[in-house]
Homo-oligomer: A and B are copies of this chain.
């Protein structure tokens, strides 16, 4: 609860409103954080972010106590947008198609955001607003997967628990050596999706999802 307040809506509690320039700078920092984390990943320094924002380091550290605080603010937003996309997908008729489209859209975002990818990889983020957003996405995916199964277009034995590993796999392709701006991940997503479709010749899958 100690770090939570940083960079938050100052309406709550006894926090006074920021001076106008300070508020502007806070936005600049957020924007710089988005850009820098997307381009260089989470290992980027708050000093990097500050420089990118055209501000001094001290300014950044006053608004956000540490890198994690800023990252949390930046990526909660990103995750919420993905959750929204999943929610929208639930409305489509063809459930498998909706699932496929959602995956493509979410991964599209990841493709342009190294920081987001790193975040999804490592951080089993504890409490934080991130965890909440992530849970929301999971829930929507459950719906998506459930509907596809019900429509009989999703291969027997595939569950929501498979979604994260699949995303992780595509993410791995994005991180491959020479092809930073490449689109080749779509190729592999297509292959996986074909392996995910219900099909008479598909044999039962091994290892019932002991995945997360």
Contacts and interface: CB of A to CB of B under 8 A. Distances in A.
Interface stretch (A14-22, A95-103, A134-142, A165-173): A165-173
Number of copies: 2
Interface string A33-54: 0000000000000000000000
Interface string A143-173: 0000000000001000000101110111111
The 3 closest A-B pairs by CB, nearest first: A172-B172, A195-B195, A169-B169
17 contacts: A165-B176, A165-B188, A166-B188, A168-B175, A169-B169, A169-B170, A182-B207, A187-B206, A187-B209, A191-B192, A191-B195, A191-B196, A191-B205, A193-B195, A194-B194, A195-B195, A199-B201
Contact of A168 (B172, B191, B202, B207): B172
B178 A190 contact: no
Contacts of A124: 177
Contacts of A166: 188
Contacts of A172: 165, 168-169, 171-172
Contact of A186 (B187, B194, B207): B207
Interface of A: 121, 124, 155, 162, 164-166, 168-173, 175-179, 182-184, 186-188, 190-196, 199, 201-203, 205-207, 209-212
Given A211-B179, A211-B184, A212-B178, A190 B168 contact: no
Contacts of A193: 195
A209 B165 CA distance: 23
A187 B171 contact: no
A201 B191 CA distance: 12
Contact of A179 (B162, B205, B210): B210
A192 B190 contact: no
A164 B207 CA distance: 24
Contacts of A212: 176-179
Contact of A182 (B155, B179, B210): B210
